[in-house]
Amino acid sequence: MSIAERLAAEERSTQQSISVDLSAVIVTVDDEQPKVLAIRTDKADALPSGPLEPRHRTLEAGLRAWVETQTRQTLGYVEQLYTFGDSGRSAATGANTRSLSIGYLALVPEAQPPGTPDAEWRNWYRYFPWEDWRNGRPPILDEIAAGLKAWVAQAEDASQRRLREARVRRTFGNRNRPWNEEPVLDRYELLYEAGLVPEAHRDGRKTSGKPISAGEPMFADHRRILATAITRLRGKIKYRPVVFELMPEMFPLLHLQRTVEALAGVRLHKPNFRRLVEGQGLVEDTGAYTTETGGRPARLVRFRSEALLEGMTGGIRLPVVRS
Amino acid sequence: MSIAERLAAEERSTQQSISVDLSAVIVTVDDEQPKVLAIRTDKADALPSGPLEPRHRTLEAGLRAWVETQTRQTLGYVEQLYTFGDSGRSAATGANTRSLSIGYLALVPEAQPPGTPDAEWRNWYRYFPWEDWRNGRPPILDEIAAGLKAWVAQAEDASQRRLREARVRRTFGNRNRPWNEEPVLDRYELLYEAGLVPEAHRDGRKTSGKPISAGEPMFADHRRILATAITRLRGKIKYRPVVFELMPEMFPLLHLQRTVEALAGVRLHKPNFRRLVEGQGLVEDTGAYTTETGGRPARLVRFRSEALLEGMTGGIRLPVVRS
DNA sequence: TCAAAAGTGTTATCCTTACACCCATGT
DNA sequence: ACATGGGTGTAAGGATAACACTTTTGA
C-alpha cells in the first residue's frame, strides 16, 4: 500500500470519532508522604484529566494548559507514561466513540492548595496500602496472600498452577526472595486478574474470589494509570536525578532520603545513602545549616545542576536496609 | 469540573476529527545485522503504519492486524513506545485534522520475506551509521564532530556554549568519557537541533549548519521513532531477557553474543559474556552440538523459560570490550 | 600445521554492605 | 545526662574486568 493510499485510509478512519483524553498523575512529597492530586467524585477518586483540544500545539502543552486551569498547579517535570485505548475502556461515551487516554506523570516540588474544591492531595498508599514497607510488612498482605493462595488453588491444571505460583512469588516475593519495590503495576494487574480488587468486578470480570478491601478503588482505569506512574517513578529515581524535581532549593540530606523512601516505600541505610549521593556528585554544599531537624544542625545542600550536564551519571542507588 | 462536565467536554472535542496512526518498528537480527522492516517510497523510507480502526478491540490488536495483513509478518513480542502528537507533525492531512501516532516496537525471530513489493528489511545502521561501533569508531563521526563543533561555536553567549559543549560530551562522549551506546534518541535529537540531519531543514528549521550526510533520512518523523525504538531496546536487553525473542529455539552462545552486539553496536568480551549469561541461569544445555560455526563444535543452548517465571532476574549485562 | 572458534582458570580491583563509632545540638 | 539526628571510618564479601591459557574441529 502506498503512502497516498495510507493517508486516504487514515482520512476514512477519522469518521470514527475518536476522543483523546490527557490524564495526569501529579505527584509531590509532603510531610514524608507521596501524594497525588485526585478529583473527588461521588463514586470514586479520579485523576485530573481533560480532552485534547485543537488549540494545543503539542500533547504536553495540552496537558499543562488543562491542569493549570483546572487545578492551579504549575507543573515542573512532565513525562509521558502510556497510551491506553481498549475499546471496552469507557462505556460512558457510547458505542461509536473510541476513547484514548494518554497518561502523564508530573512532579511538583511543593503541594499548592488545589484550585478547585473537589481536588485534593491524597497519599498514594491509600490506593496501594501493600506498597508501603517503610514501617515493616504491611498487615494487609496477610489478606492479600490468602486471596492469592485461593486464586492459585483455583487453577485449572497443574501447569497453570505453577505459572500462577511463580507469578505471585515474582511480584510479591516470599521468604527467600525479598520485597522488590519496583513492579507496582505487575502487582496491581495480578490483583485485578485474581479478582481481589473491586475494579475487576465492576468491569464485569468473572471471578470467584471475593474482593478484599485491597486499597481504595478509583474511577475507570485510573488506579492502573497510577500504578504505571509509581512503577515508572520508582524505576527512574535509580537512573535519573528526578527526585530533585520534588525538593526545595536547599535541603538537608535526610530530607532527600525521606523523599526517596516515601516514593520507593522502603527504608534506606543512612550512612550509605549519604555516601552514594555525595559520591555521585549529585549535590553540593551551600554553606548554610538548619537546626529545624532536631539534633545536631544539618548541612543544607543543593542539587548540583552541572550533574545534569554531566548527564548519564544516573540517579540514586537504593541502599535498602534489609533487616 | 465534575466528571459529567468532563465527559461533555470530551464529547465536544470529538468534533475535531482526530486520526490515530499505529506505527511499528519491526526488528529482527539477520546475518549479524539489526534490521527493520521499511516501506520504500519515492521520497524516503517509511515505517509500516496504519490507522486505528473501530473493529480493533485494543491498540495492540489493531497494530498486529494491520502489520500482519500489510507485511505478512507475524509479530511476537510487541511493546508500546510513545505517542507522538505535535500538530505540526503532519501537514499532509490538512488543517482541521489532528494526527496522533502511537509507536510500537515489535521483535520477530526470523526475517520472513516481506509480503509486499515495497516493503524491505533494512539494516538500521543505514539510518544511524554513527551508532555502529562494532568495527571501531565509525568514520562518519569525524564529520559529525566537525558539525557539532561549529554548532557549539554558533552559541549566542558563553553560558549557552557551555550547555552545548556539555550536551555533546554527554551524548557523543570524548577522550575521557567512553562511548555509551544507550542514548540513541538524545544523539539524534542533538543532530536534529544542530541542523546536521536533512529532516531539520525539511521541517523548516532555521539553521546555519549545512546538513551533512549523517545517515539516510526517513518519511516524516519516522527516524525519530526508530531512534526511540533503538534506545528502548538497547536499554531493555540489560534488564529483561528480550533478546531471546530474536533467537531461534536452539543456538550457540556466540550467536547470542553476536545478536546482542548487533543491537548494542559494541563488541563484547566473549569469556565474560558467556559466564554472565550462564551464571544468570538464562540458558540451559540442550545436549546438541553444531559444527556450522567453524572451529570447535559449539554446544547448542536454549532459553530457560523458567527464567521468565523467576522473573526479575534481569537481562544481559554488557561486558563491553574497551580495548 | 594453522586458523578459527569453543571454552576454562585466575587474579586485581572496585563497589556495595554492614557494623561501629564519634559529633553537635536541644531539653 | 540523654535523646535525636548528623556525620565518618573501615573491613568483609561479592561482582566485574582483564589476561592467559587449553581444547576441538576443518582446511
Domains delineated in chain A: 15-126 (3.90.79.10), 135-215 (no CATH), 238-309 (1.10.10.10)
CB of A6 nearer than 7 A to strand C: no
Q: Give the residue from B23, B272, B190 showing the smallest Cα distance to B260.
A: B272
Pick the residue with more confidence: A202 or A212?
Answer: A202
The count of C-alpha atoms lying within 13 angstroms of the C-alpha of A68, restricted to the half-sphere facing its C-beta, is: 10
Q: Specify whether the CB–CB gap between A248 and A287 falls below 8 A.
A: no
Instruction: Give the model's pLDDT for residue A94.
Output: 45
Pick the residue with more confidence: B288 or A13?
Answer: B288
Instruction: Give the model's pLDDT for residue B92.
Output: 45
Contacts of B9 in chain A (CB under 8 A): 50-51
Contacts of A1 in chain B (CB under 8 A): 70, 116
Q: With an 8 Å Cβ cutoff, are A13 and B7 in contact?
A: no
Strand partners, A26: A106
Cα angle: A56, vertex A62, A67; to 5 degrees:
145
Instruction: Give the model's pLDDT for residue B2.
Output: 52
Considering only residues 236-275 of protein chain A, which place a Cβ less than 7 A from any atom of strand C?
A: 269, 271-272, 275
CB of A137 nearer than 7 A to strand C: no
Q: With an 8 Å Cβ cutoff, are A7 and B93 in contact?
A: yes
CB of A319 nearer than 7 A to strand C: yes
Q: pLDDT grade, residue B93 (50/70/90)?
A: very low
| A198-212, A229-243, B52-66, B175-189: least confidently modelled range | A198-212
Question: What is the chain B residue with the closest CA to A163?
Answer: B309
Q: Does any CB of chain B come closer than 8 Å to the CB of residue A180? A: yes
Distance from residue A312 (CA) to nucleotide C15 (C1'), in Å? 19
CB of A139 nearer than 7 A to strand D: no
Q: Measure the CA–CA gap between B171 and A182, rounded to whole angstroms.
A: 28
Q: Helix %, strand %, coil % for chain A, to 5?
A: 40, 20, 40
Q: Measure the CA–CA gap between B39 and B159, rounded to whole angstroms.
A: 43
Considering chain B, what percentage of its residues have pLDDT values greater than 70? 84
Q: Specify whether the CB–CB gap between A224 and A212 falls below 8 A.
A: no
Q: Give the residue from A3, A37, A25, A209 showing the smallest Cα distance to A112.
A: A37
Q: Give the residue from A105, A58, A56 showing the smallest Cα distance to A78.
A: A105
Instruction: Give the model's pLDDT for residue B319.
Output: 80
Looking at residues A170-184, what average pLDDT do you find? 85
Q: With an 8 Å Cβ cutoff, are A85 and B59 in contact?
A: yes
Pick the residue with more confidence: B16 or A263?
Answer: A263
Q: Measure the CA–CA gap between A35 and B44, rounded to whole angstroms.
A: 47
What is the distance in angstroms between the Cα of B49 and the nearest Cα belonging to chain A? 8
| A97-106, A122-131, A202-211: least confidently modelled range | A202-211
Counting DSSP H helices and E strands in chain A, the numbers are 10, 9
Q: pLDDT grade, residue B197 (50/70/90)?
A: very high
- Which residues, in sequence order, are CB contacts of A73 under 8 Å at separation 6+? A26, A37, A67, A106, A108, A112, A114, A115
Q: With an 8 Å Cβ cutoff, are A97 and B14 in contact?
A: yes
Pick the residue with more confidence: B56 or B48?
Answer: B48
Contacts of B116 in chain A (CB under 8 A): 1
Q: pLDDT grade, residue A91 (50/70/90)?
A: very low
Q: Does any CB of chain A come closer than 8 Å to the CB of residue B281? A: no
Considering chain A, what percentage of its residues have pLDDT values greater than 90? 56
Cα B241 vs. chain centroid, distance in angstroms? 17
Q: With an 8 Å Cβ cutoff, are A18 and B21 in contact?
A: no
DSSP assignments along A14-63, one per residue:
GGG-EEEEEEEEEEEEETTEEEEEEE--SSSBB--EEE--TT-SSHHHHH
Q: pLDDT grade, residue B323 (50/70/90)?
A: low
In this structure, what C-alpha cell is assigned to residue A76?
A: 515542573
Pick the residue with more confidence: A93 or B149?
Answer: B149
Whether B89 has a pLDDT exceeding 50, the answer reads no
Q: Measure the CA–CA gap between A250 and A302, rounded to whole angstroms.
A: 5
Looking at residues B163-190, what average pLDDT do you find? 89
Q: Give the residue from A2, A9, A76 showing the smallest Cα distance to B116.
A: A2
Q: Is A123 helix (H, G, I), strand (E, B) or coil?
A: strand
CB of B251 nearer than 7 A to strand C: no
Q: Is B153 helix (H, G, I), strand (E, B) or coil?
A: helix
In this structure, what C-alpha cell is assigned to residue B317?
A: 549485562
Question: What is the chain B residue with the closest CA to A313?
Answer: B170
CB of A295 nearer than 7 A to strand C: yes
Strands, E assignment, A115-180? 119-123
| A271-280, A302-311, B27-36: least confidently modelled range | A302-311
Contacts of B92 in chain A (CB under 8 A): 7
Instruction: Give the model's pLDDT for residue B177.
Output: 74
What is the distance in angstroms between the Cα of B235 and the nearest Cα belonging to chain A? 12
| A35-44, A141-150, B49-58, B264-273: least confidently modelled range | B49-58
Q: Which one of B2, B15, B16, B84 makes the best mutation probe of the A interface by having the most chain A beta carbons within 10 Å?
A: B16
Q: Does any CB of chain A come closer than 8 Å to the CB of residue B187? A: no
Whether A198 has a pLDDT exceeding 80, the answer reads yes
Phi-psi region of B9 (alpha: psi -120 to 50; beta: other; left: phi over 0): alpha
CB of A322 nearer than 7 A to strand C: yes
Q: Which one of B19, B96, B190, B234 makes the best mutation probe of the A interface by having the most chain A beta carbons within 10 Å?
A: B19
Instruction: Give the model's pLDDT for residue A74.
Output: 86
Q: Measure the CA–CA gap between B227 and B230, rounded to whole angstroms.
A: 5
Instruction: Give the model's pLDDT for residue A206.
Output: 60
CB of B253 nearer than 7 A to strand C: yes
Whether A85 has a pLDDT exceeding 90, the answer reads no
| A144-148, B84-88, B133-137, B285-289: least confidently modelled range | B84-88
Burial class (CB in 10 A: 0-12, 13-18, 19+), B254: middle
Instruction: Give the model's pLDDT for residue A191.
Output: 95
Whether A93 has a pLDDT exceeding 50, the answer reads no
Q: Give the residue from B152, B119, B131 showing the smallest Cα distance to B36.
A: B119
The values of phi and psi at residue B201, to 5°, are -75, -40
Q: Specify whether the CB–CB gap between B164 and B152 falls below 8 A.
A: yes
Distance from residue A210 (CA) to nucleotide C7 (C1'), in Å? 55
Q: Does any CB of chain B come closer than 8 Å to the CB of residue A2? A: yes
Q: Measure the CA–CA gap between A84 and B38, rounded to whole angstroms.
A: 26
pLDDT, tens digit, 9 for 90 and up, residues A16-25? 577 888 999 9
3-state secondary structure B255-287: HHHHHHHHHHCCCECHHHHHHHHHHCCCEEEEE
Whether B204 has a pLDDT exceeding 60, the answer reads yes
Instruction: Give the model's pLDDT for residue A174.
Output: 76
Q: Does any CB of chain B come closer than 8 Å to the CB of residue A102? A: yes
In this structure, what C-alpha cell is assigned to residue B46?
A: 517509511
How far is the first Cα of chain A from the last one, in angstroms, to the nearest whole number? 61
Nucleotides of chain C in contact with protein CB (under 7 A) are: 3-9, 16-20, 23-26
Whether A170 has a pLDDT exceeding 90, the answer reads no
Pick the residue with more confidence: B74 or A150?
Answer: A150
| B276-280, B283-287, B303-307: least confidently modelled range | B303-307
Cα A103 vs. chain centroid, distance in angstroms? 11
Q: With an 8 Å Cβ cutoff, are B312 and A170 in contact?
A: yes
Distance from residue A273 (CA) to nucleotide D11 (C1'), in Å? 19
- How many C-beta neighbours within 10 Å does residue A218 have? 24
